[in-house]
Amino acid sequence: MNQISNNARIHENVKMGQNVVIKDFAVIYPGTVIEDNVEIMEGAVIGRIPKGAKATSRKTIKEYKTVVIGEGSVISPNVVIYTDVKIGKGTLIGDGASIREQCEIGIECIISRLVSINYNTKIGNKTKIMDNTHITGNMIIGDNVFISVLVATTNDNNIGSKGYDESLVKGPIIENNVLIGAGANILPGVIIGANCIIGAGSLITKNIPANKVVMGSPGKIVRDV
């Protein structure tokens, strides 16, 4: 039996499974699919259309697309999930996190408090991203990745000076089983190979082969894993 607060706002064309809990002041926009045993907590917004302005270079979605919240997932208070997003089964989205359009998050992930995930980003299964980290747009993160707190990722080596161009704006690729320490900074287009360990505070400016430990600013390979 579903438990829907009288103070929640559920728009038309929302599909809902069984044993769903939606708490006070949550807003669920059209096109959202909520699978069984999902809990959506106070003040969460699901399926929002991004609102552009003259200052925005990148074209944004202007209509409601499908949002899927996988079975057994938890959406914490004040999370904002935009339209055209898929969240896998058993995933936790922490307080105040923001997930932009065209993103896909795998099964049994943790997206912790105040994490921001920009547009068109893919995150694999059982990956954990800790508090206050920014995941940039056009980025790929593999399975079983751990990203610690306050990590920054970027996608534009021109720092916005040439506007938005898909051929130039590319986020990092982080392959499977990578561990990234607190406060690391990963620059656009960098590929971090599988099983690498990136030390806290490292600045990653170039590709890192698989199975390496990297430390420093700029980051240097110090040994094999």
pLDDT tens, residue by residue, 38-47: 999 999 999 9
Question: Which tokens belong to 44?
Answer: 């969460």
Q: Does residue 201 contact residue 184 with C-beta atoms inside 8 Å? A: yes
pLDDT at 33 over 90: yes
Structural domain includes residue 40:
yes
**Dist. CA 208–CA 189, nearest whole Å:** 12
User: What is the distance, to the nearest Å, from the Cα of residue 143 to the centroid of all Cα atoms in its chain?
Assistant: 13
pLDDT of residue 224: 97
Residue 223 lies in a domain: no
Sheet holding 134-135, edge to edge: 9-10, 27-28, 45-48, 80-82, 98-99, 116-117, 134-135, 152-153, 185-186, 203-204
3 lies in some domain: yes
The CATH number linked to 45 is 2.160.10.10
Mean per-residue pLDDT of the chain: 96
pTM of the entire predicted model: 0.95
- Name the band, by pLDDT with cuts 50, 70 and 90, for residue 161: confident
> What is the number of structural domains in the chain?
1
* The residue type at 9: R
> Is the per-residue pLDDT at 60 higher than 90?
no
Q: What percent of the chain has pLDDT over 90?
A: 89
Can you give the residue range of the structural domain that contains 29?
1-120
What is the CB neighbour count within 10 angstroms for residue 133?
A: 25
